[in-house]
Amino acid sequence: MNILELYNLKKYYATQKAVDDISFSIPEGSIFGLLGPNGAGKTTLLRMITGIFYPDSGNIFFEGEKFDPVADIPKIGYMPEERGLYKKMKIGEQALYLAMLKGMGKKDAMKKIKEWFVKFEMESWWNKKVDDLSKGMSQKLQFVTTVLHEPKLLILDEPFSGLDPVNSNLIKDEIFKLAQKGTTIIFSTHRMEQVEEICDKIVLVNKGKKILDGSLIQIKNDFKEHIFKVGFDAIPARFDSNVFKIIDEKENYFNVKIDDGHTPAEVLQELLTQKASIISFNEILPTLNEIFIKQVEDTKTAREFSNN
């Protein structure tokens, strides 16, 4: 079952088409990546999913029914890219306030806040103000306030930006735990390498349009170029092959591109008949970054993006 389905969403601003006819669906319990460069329309899309903006046209279905911001918002947790907390408010009170705005009862909220504070070793912070916290500490607090009400759909916009590796891993672990418990998670980021290891399914957007949609494995297979990395004890002498071409050669390995109509087994066979001392043989799949650049090749975005 899909927790979220978007049909032909559009949101135009005076100067640009922020979201231009985007449709996709997110299966319940999946970890979903919403990817694209800055300014692709990710945040606008998320703001429509969280009920902050109304789409100009198109439909959103949440748990199979038409999205109703008032009723569905308590089931969604949203951590915007621009993090924000009241600087002068005490941390405990702040967490309680945000939880109650999501519709939690006071008792329930207190219990949950205490659990999370213990988990993140924040118990002693209760009466501190956000002003007194380090950046990493306030990021942790922000995460806690986002998940306190146990949302079914958790939306994280650039969740790891500004986090050190220790806190980054801490939060990543918690996200996995939530996913195991059945929470659907949307990651929105322009750092594609960050989500390759996490996401089951991705959607790639650029300039308000959807470019790619599918499971990560599926997409990588669709875009693979039949390139294999072959490692040797010693590089064999050069020879001509009608099965593959060597596209890159290093001290102890080379990358080969298999010609159309041939298989990896034929490559191995040919190499073995050359008595090459093979120690490794594996396929090189394109990274999401490469796929993205290939998709939007020769556009301005692509050039800017490959410079990053």
Partner 1 sequence: MNKIWLVIKREYLTRVRNKTFILSTILLPLFFIGFIFASAYFSIQSDSNQKVAVTDNNGIFKSSFQNDKSITYEFPSDVNINNFKQKGYSALLIIPKNYDFASDSISLVSDKQLGINAEEKIKNQINNAIRNKAFLQNNIDRKVLDSINKIDEGSIYNFRPVIKQGNKTEQSNSGLSYGIGFGSGILIYMTLFIYGAAVMRGVMEEKMNRIAEVIISSVKPFQLMMGKILGIAAVGITQLLIWIVLIIGLSSVTTIFLSPDSLQHVQTIHSSVGGATTGSSAAMNFLTAKNTFLSANWGLIIPCFLFYFIGGYLFYASLFAAVGSVVNEDPQEAQSLMLPITMPIILSFIIMTTAAGKPDAPISVWGSMIPFSSPIVMMARIPSGSVPVWQIAVSMLSLVAGFILTTMLAAKIYRTGILLYGKKVTFKEMGKWLFRKS
Binding site for partner 1 (CB under 8 A): 14, 47, 50-52, 54, 73, 76, 78-80, 82-89, 97-98, 100-102, 145
Which runs of consecutive H residues, i.e. helices, occur in 36-164?
42-49, 69-72, 91-101, 106-119, 135-147
- Minimum CB distance to partner 1 smaller for 66 or for 275: 66
Nearest-approach distance from CB 7 to partner 1, in angstroms: 20
Nearest-approach distance from CB 219 to partner 1, in angstroms: 30
Those residues whose C-beta lies under 8 Å from the C-beta of residue 112, and which sit 6 or more positions away, are 99, 104, 148, 149, 150
- Minimum CB distance to partner 1 smaller for 1 or for 14: 14
- Minimum CB distance to partner 1 smaller for 40 or for 79: 79
- Minimum CB distance to partner 1 smaller for 190 or for 210: 190
Nearest-approach distance from CB 51 to partner 1, in angstroms: 7
- Minimum CB distance to partner 1 smaller for 143 or for 244: 143
Phi, psi of 228 (to 5 degrees): -125, 145
- Minimum CB distance to partner 1 smaller for 87 or for 245: 87
Enter the DSSP assignment of 129: B
Concatenate the DSSP letters of all residues of 213-265 into one string.
EEEHHHHHHHT---EEEEEESSPPPP---SSEEEEEE-SSEEEEEEPTT--HH
Nearest-approach distance from CB 44 to partner 1, in angstroms: 10
Q: Which two tokens mark 224?
A: 């693979």
Q: Which two tokens mark 64?
A: 């199979």
Q: How far apart are CA 242 and CA 262, in angstroms?
A: 9
Nearest-approach distance from CB 104 to partner 1, in angstroms: 11
- Count CB-CB contacts under 10 A for residue 104: 20
| Rg from Cα positions in the chain | 24
Nearest-approach distance from CB 239 to partner 1, in angstroms: 59
Those residues whose C-beta lies under 8 Å from the C-beta of residue 110, and which sit 6 or more positions away, are 96
Nearest-approach distance from CB 97 to partner 1, in angstroms: 6
Compute CA distances 274 → 139, 246, 270, 281, whole Å.
57, 15, 7, 16
CB-side exposure of 7: number of CA atoms within 13 Å? 10
- Minimum CB distance to partner 1 smaller for 52 or for 211: 52
